[in-house]
């Protein structure tokens, strides 16, 4: 797998001031274009989220690009094995900035049900490879869970939440 | 049939050890002990009698390694187990890939997991594992890989020629099959050769099975084939019940049948969406998922999860169904029958679809016994082979249904077979609901710690993609000694390189989509 | 000089077209953050390093498509002035000359169709 994961040098934009930042962040948050990185079972729930019932397109994130060059959100849905790890890092580096990562499902968070003693082929969590912004737990998480993860990511980018948090009943 | 084969084998090959075993306990009829000298004779004889290899695996008993070949016949049920013992220090066995083409990949898998070298095999390179692993994973003790084995396993270097170039249909691609990588050698727009590279989702299910008790392993089969999770669950549970001799009550069998058929419809709907998306038509995806959400609502109320079900337990079910389930299912069946008319108009009569799909990816008749494909793939060539009638389990022997077949074996036939299968699933569900008995749903006196008797068993089930089999070797403890999964997508994928040769790239992708591959079940 | 008045419109059109392409590139250059990794500028091939180079010998069927494209691209040059002057003269003359021109081109397509340029059959080795 190699030592560590990705290697990235970032630079700030040439023109940068507060009001422009706010406008641009609003634009970025409301039009996140995900990259289809469906690895395993969580990919089917991601596809369900993109379909008619739990439409993710109404939040602006409905255009799933296959190529990393035109996407800015990588939803890692599924188990990352050691054979797949270099490919994930390459694809992450090929995405242009600014970019975000959602780790969807237990396998992407920490190895999931496959982390047992004596395992030889699992990367226990995608945050060992790339920096993750939002974790969505579940095996697989419901589509509403993924939408809540998207809301959290929008909150992280803009600073304010689009819909109010549902009230805690317990 | 079993008797005639028994007599034939005994008379043709001298000095062979062959026994009849009890089918109800073991799942196979005859057990043949082969030696390195007469293995090829036995295999050649079975090939002449049109047997196909159902599975080929290896078990590590520490004093020796045993390679197990399980044979079966398409026309009548006769399962034969041929076993070959090899020495654990330097295991060597003769290859049978010149007789059965499908053994090519099985032998590669055994080589990288156990270290058994097959003489005469031309390409023993990595199939599932990557080049950081320096031991054989499925051996009981840690045996390191020797240097010359490492060199042989790593020797996949595509050679460049003047007129051709290599394209990676990589692990990350817009079609929804999963992480399958195919290295395609192309000449302009034509595919010269297609070589799948697997193992990007190898999640060590077979190793986990040896470290977990039978109950702890219950969530795993659903992760292998997530669109058809209940059927894999059924394969696991039914195999262990057969091994322990647990009788499942009737109501549980009927409910198992109904939920499995609902899951089959859901999986075929997912396939229709994905297949059309491969061809470029993105609209039917939305319609198919709409119907699929209805099924998921019904199953979620009963099982508790939407995708990876773990509903069956040893001896019965986890939860009983109520009247709500029955009425919702009847409503769904009525609604789905009307939706079929819509699918006919949208897809089947579409001129572009017919031109993209008819006459492409035709499977020739002489490929059938050499490759072990099953499921809708073999039914599209005209052979009505279905595990539900071939070797009935659950409540299928009490319900009549017909098996749809195609004629030519091209992509159009596979599409029509799956569409007809969905309609037949609805028939089965209706008949099963009409006959649903009342009673208990769990067998009584199932021990908390399940310790099956010593021995091995093979049990097969018709999952959405074909014949799914479980081969369990138990040594009386509460963890299996070896659990081997025979998955249909693995043997279906073996036909893809032969069918893609010489076709255009878009046609090759359409062919791959028509096989309905699910990669986690290939990689296990 | 009167005739040159009409060309001012063309000049404005040209300037706006050039700005339309350049301004988004400049704005993106000024406003975007940059992130460069090890593999950022490599070729995308589903995450894997590509084998071999990209300059290969390819088959002659592509060349024939290119020829047909060039022929049709050139005839658009003829069609532009005809389209502009279509309503200025007696319409019948333009109509018939256009019809003869296009039908000659269609003959070329029918010939190519008959020769099998448009169907790519499966090659069984």
**Domains detected in chain A:** 30-156 (3.40.50.12280)
Local structure of residue A65 (DSSP, 8 states): B
Place of tokens 């209805």: B294
Best residue in B130, B165, B196 to probe C by mutation, most C CBs within 10 Å?
B165
CB atoms within 10 A of CB B303: 22
Best residue in A85, A121, A126, A142 to probe B by mutation, most B CBs within 10 Å?
A121
Residue B473 lies in a domain: yes
B146 and B244 co-located in one domain: no
Q: Name, in order, each residue with C-beta under 8 angstroms of B93's C-beta and a sequence gap of 6 or more.
A: B36, B39, B67, B84, B86, B116, B117, B118, B119
B325 and B432 co-located in one domain: yes
**What's the average model confidence in pLDDT over B491-500?**
88
Please tell me the distance from the alpha carbon of residue C32 to that of residue B110, in angstroms, as a whole number: 52
Q: Which chains form contacts with chain A, at 3 or more CB pairs under 8 Å?
A: B, C
pLDDT tens-digit map of B388-432 = 888 888 888 888 888 998 888 888 999 999 999 999 999 999 999
Please tell me the distance from the alpha carbon of residue B118 to that of residue C26, in angstroms, as a whole number: 62
Best residue in A3, A41, A50, A86 to probe B by mutation, most B CBs within 10 Å?
A41
**What's the average model confidence in pLDDT over B477-504?**
89
Residue B301 has pLDDT above 60, yes or no: yes
B224 and B128 co-located in one domain: no
Name the closest residue on chain C to residue A37, using Cα atoms: C46
User: Across chain B, how many H-helices and E-strands are there?
Assistant: 19, 15
Q: How far apart are the first and last CA of chain A?
A: 43
Mean pLDDT of all residues belonging to chain C = 80
B24 and B100 co-located in one domain: yes
Residue B162 lies in a domain: no
Residue C51 has pLDDT above 80, yes or no: no
Alpha helices for chain A (secondary structure H):
18-29, 41-49, 85-94, 106-110, 143-158
The pLDDT value given to residue B16: 77
Pairing of strands A134-136, A100-104: parallel
Residue B186 lies in a domain: no
Chain A environment of C48 (Cβ under 8 Å): 87, 90
Write the residue in A39, A113, A121 that is nearest to B179 by C-beta: A39
The enclosing domain of B407 has a CATH number of 1.10.645.10
pLDDT tens-digit map of B206-232 = 888 888 888 899 999 988 888 989 999
Name the closest residue on chain B to residue C57, using Cα atoms: B163
The pLDDT value given to residue A3: 44
Band of the pLDDT at A2, cuts 50, 70, 90? very low
Name the closest residue on chain C to residue B171, using Cα atoms: C46
Question: Is C37's CB within 8 Å of A12's CB?
Answer: no
B131 and B222 co-located in one domain: no
Chain C environment of A13 (Cβ under 8 Å): 30-34
Place of tokens 């209706």: B430
Structure tokens at B208: 């986990």
Residue B14 has pLDDT above 60, yes or no: yes
CA distance C124 to chain B (A): 5
Residue B160 lies in a domain: no
Please tell me the distance from the alpha carbon of residue A94 to that of residue B517, in angstroms, as a whole number: 28
Kindly provide the b/e burial profile for residues A14-46, where b requires at least 16 CB atoms within 10 angstroms of the residue's own CB.
Answer: eeeeeeeeeebbeebbeebebbbbbbbbbbbbb
CA B172 to chain centre: 23
Question: Is C46's CB within 8 Å of B164's CB?
Answer: no
The pLDDT value given to residue C25: 93
Better pLDDT: B435 or C81: B435
Residue B41 has pLDDT above 90, yes or no: no
B422 and B495 co-located in one domain: yes
B95 and B237 co-located in one domain: no
Band of the pLDDT at C19, cuts 50, 70, 90? very high
| Half-sphere exposure of residue C95: CA atoms within 13 angstroms, side-chain side | 4
B444 and B504 co-located in one domain: yes
Question: Is B176's CB within 8 Å of A43's CB?
Answer: yes
Q: Which of A50-54, B463-467, B486-490, C38-42 has the least mean pLDDT?
A: C38-42
B237 and B343 co-located in one domain: yes
Residue B191 lies in a domain: no
Band of the pLDDT at C89, cuts 50, 70, 90? low
Structure tokens at A58: 């109404």
Specify the pTM: 0.89
Peptide linkage before B183 cis (omega within 30 of 0)? no
Best residue in A77, A83, A89 to probe B by mutation, most B CBs within 10 Å?
A83
**What's the average model confidence in pLDDT over B164-183?**
80
Contacting B with CB below 8 Å, chain C residues are 45-48, 50-52, 54, 56-59, 61-62, 120, 122-125
Residue A101 has pLDDT above 90, yes or no: yes
Question: Is A66's CB within 8 Å of B307's CB?
Answer: no
Write the residue in B160, B165, B173 that is nearest to C46 by C-beta: B173
Which of B131, B153, B175 is a domain's end point? B153
Question: Is A121's CB within 8 Å of B270's CB?
Answer: no
Structure tokens at C14: 């040209």
B139 and B239 co-located in one domain: no
Chain A environment of C37 (Cβ under 8 Å): 6-9, 92-94
The enclosing domain of B122 has a CATH number of 3.30.460.80
Which of B120, B137, B153 is a domain's end point? B153
Q: Name, in order, each residue with C-beta under 8 angstroms of B412's C-beta and a sequence gap of 6 or more.
A: B354, B357, B358, B359, B406
Q: For the sheet with B165-169, list strands across it.
A: B165-169, B181-187, B190-197
Mean pLDDT of all residues belonging to chain B = 87
Residue B504 lies in a domain: yes
Residue B169 backbone phi and psi in degrees, to 5: -90, 85
B138 and B216 co-located in one domain: no
Write the residue in C32, C33, C37 that is nearest to A93 by C-beta: C37
pLDDT tens-digit map of B420-478 = 999 999 999 999 999 888 888 888 888 888 888 888 899 999 999 989 999 999 988 88
**What's the average model confidence in pLDDT over A137-141?**
90
The pLDDT value given to residue B176: 58
Please tell me the distance from the alpha carbon of residue B30 to that of residue B61, in angstroms, as a whole number: 21
Mean pLDDT of all residues belonging to chain A = 86
**What's the average model confidence in pLDDT over B11-40?**
82
- pLDDT above 90 as % of chain A: 24
- pLDDT above 70 as % of chain B: 98
3-state secondary structure of B59: strand
User: Across chain C, how many H-helices and E-strands are there?
Assistant: 3, 1
- pLDDT above 70 as % of chain A: 96
Local structure of residue B77 (DSSP, 8 states): -
Band of the pLDDT at B234, cuts 50, 70, 90? very high
Chain C environment of B196 (Cβ under 8 Å): none
Chain A environment of B137 (Cβ under 8 Å): 120-121
- Structural domains in chain B (count): 2
Find, among A1, A42, A32, the residue nearest to B178 by Cα: A42
Q: Exposed, middle or buried: residue B46 (CB in 10 Å: 0-12, 13-18, 19+)?
A: buried
- Find the farthest-apart pair of alpha carbons in chain B and give their distance in angstroms, rounded: 71
What is the 3-state secondary structure of B102-148? CHHHHHHHHHHHHCCEEECCCCCCCCCCCCCCCECCCCCCCCECCHH
Please tell me the distance from the alpha carbon of residue B299 to that of residue B319, in angstroms, as a whole number: 12
Query: Which H or E run includes B317?
Result: strand B316-317
Question: Is C29's CB within 8 Å of A94's CB?
Answer: no
Band of the pLDDT at B237, cuts 50, 70, 90? very high
Which of B134, B153, B172 is a domain's end point? B153
Contacting A with CB below 8 Å, chain B residues are 129-130, 132-133, 135, 137, 170-174, 176, 178-179, 199-204, 207-208, 211-212, 219-220, 223, 226-227, 270, 285-286, 289-290, 293, 306-308, 520
Domain carrying residue B143: 2-153
Write the residue in A1, A66, A118 that is nearest to B132 by C-beta: A1
Chain A environment of C31 (Cβ under 8 Å): 13-15, 20, 24
B283 and B410 co-located in one domain: yes
Chain C environment of B499 (Cβ under 8 Å): none
């Amino acid at each position: 797998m190699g030592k560590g994961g990705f290697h990235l040098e970032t630079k700030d934009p040439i023109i940068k001031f507060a009001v422009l930042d706010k406008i641009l962040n609003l634009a970025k948050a409301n039009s996140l274009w995900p990259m289809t990185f469906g690895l395993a079972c969580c990919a089917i729930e991601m596809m369900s989220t993109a379909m008619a019932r739990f439409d993710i397109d109404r939040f602006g994130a409905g255009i799933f690009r296959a190529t990393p060059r035109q996407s800015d959100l990588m939803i890692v849905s599924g188990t990352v094995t050691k054979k797949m790890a270099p490919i994930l890092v390459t694809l992450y580096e090929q995405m242009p900035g600014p970019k975000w990562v959602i780790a969807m499902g237990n396998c992407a968070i920490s190895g999931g049900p496959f982390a047992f003693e004596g395992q030889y082929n699992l990367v226990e969590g995608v945050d060992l490879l790339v920096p993750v912004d939002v974790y969505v737990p579940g095996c697989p998480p419901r589509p509403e869970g993924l939408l809540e993860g998207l809301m959290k990511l929008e909150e992280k980018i803009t600073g304010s939440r689009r819909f109010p948090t549902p009230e805690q009943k317990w | 049939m079993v008797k005639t084969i028994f007599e034939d084998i005994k008379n043709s090959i001298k000095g062979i050890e062959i026994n009849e075993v009890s089918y109800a306990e073991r799942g196979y009829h005859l057990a043949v002990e082969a030696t390195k000298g007469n293995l090829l004779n036995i295999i050649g004889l079975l090939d002449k009698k049109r047997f196909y290899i159902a599975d080929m695996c290896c078990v590590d008993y520490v004093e020796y390694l045993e390679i197990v070949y399980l044979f079966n016949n398409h026309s009548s049920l006769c399962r034969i187990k041929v076993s070959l013992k090899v020495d654990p220090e330097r295991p060597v066995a003769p290859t049978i890939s010149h007789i059965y083409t499908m053994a090519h990949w099985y032998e590669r898998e055994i080589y990288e997991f156990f270290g058994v070298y097959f003489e005469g095999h031309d390409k023993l390179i990595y199939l599932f594992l990557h080049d950081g692993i320096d031991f054989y994973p499925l051996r009981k003790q840690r045996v390191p890989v020797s240097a010359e084995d490492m060199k042989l396993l790593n020797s996949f270097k595509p050679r460049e020629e003047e007129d051709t170039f290599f394209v990676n249909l990589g692990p990350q691609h817009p079609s929804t099959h999963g992480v399958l990588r195919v290295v395609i050698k192309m000449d302009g727009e034509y595919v010269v050769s297609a070589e799948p590279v697997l193992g990007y989702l190898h999640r060590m299910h077979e190793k986990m099975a040896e470290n977990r008790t039978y109950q702890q392993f219950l969530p795993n089969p659903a992760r292998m084939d997530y669109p058809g999770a209940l059927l894999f669950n059924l394969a696991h549970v039914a195999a262990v019940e057969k091994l322990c001799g647990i009788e499942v009550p009737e109501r549980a069998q009927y409910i198992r049948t109904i939920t499995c058929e609902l899951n089959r419809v859901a999986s075929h709907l997912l396939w229709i969406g994905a297949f059309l998306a491969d061809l470029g038509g993105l609209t039917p995806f939305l319609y198919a998922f709409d119907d699929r959400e209805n099924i998921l609502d019904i199953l979620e109320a009963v099982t508790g999860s939407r995708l990876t079900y773990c509903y069956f337990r040893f001896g019965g079910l986890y939860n009983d169904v109520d009247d709500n389930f029955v009425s919702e299912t009847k409503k769904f069946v009525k609604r789905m029958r009307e939706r079929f008319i819509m699918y006919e108009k949208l897809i089947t009569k579409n001129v572009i679809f017919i031109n993209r799909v008819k006459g492409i990816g035709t499977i020739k008749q002489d490929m059938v016994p050499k490759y072990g494909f099953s499921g809708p793939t073999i039914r599209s060539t005209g052979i009505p082979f279905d595990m539900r009638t071939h070797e009935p389990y659950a409540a299928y022997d009490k319900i009549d249904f017909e098996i749809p077949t195609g004629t030519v074996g091209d992509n159009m036939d596979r599409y029509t077979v799956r569409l007809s299968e969905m309609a037949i699933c609805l028939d089965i569900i209706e008949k099963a609901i009409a006959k649903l008995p009342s009673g208990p749903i769990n067998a009584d006196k199932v021990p908390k710690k399940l310790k099956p008797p010593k021995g091995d068993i093979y049990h097969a089930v018709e999952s959405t993609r074909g014949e799914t089999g479980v081969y369990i070797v138990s040594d009386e403890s509460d963890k299996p000694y070896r659990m081997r999964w025979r998955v249909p997508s693995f043997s279906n994928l073996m036909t893809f390189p032969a069918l893609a040769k010489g076709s255009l790239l878009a046609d090759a992708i359409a062919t791959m989509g028509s096989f309905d591959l699910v990669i986690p079940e290939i990689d296990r | 000089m009167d005739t040159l008045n009409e060309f001012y419109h063309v000049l404005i059109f040209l300037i706006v077209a050039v700005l339309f392409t350049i301004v988004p590139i400049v704005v993106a250059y000024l406003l975007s953050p940059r992130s460069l990794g090890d593999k950022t500028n490599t070729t995308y091939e589903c995450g894997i390093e590509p084998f071999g180079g990209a300059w290969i010998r390819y088959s002659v069927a592509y060349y024939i498509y290119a020829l047909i494209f060039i022929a049709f691209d050139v005839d658009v040059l003829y069609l532009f002035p005809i389209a502009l002057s279509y309503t200025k003269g007696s319409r019948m003359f333009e109509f018939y000359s256009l019809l003869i021109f296009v039908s000659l081109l269609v003959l070329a397509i029918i010939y190519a169709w008959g020769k099998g340029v448009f169907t790519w059959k499966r090659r069984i080795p």
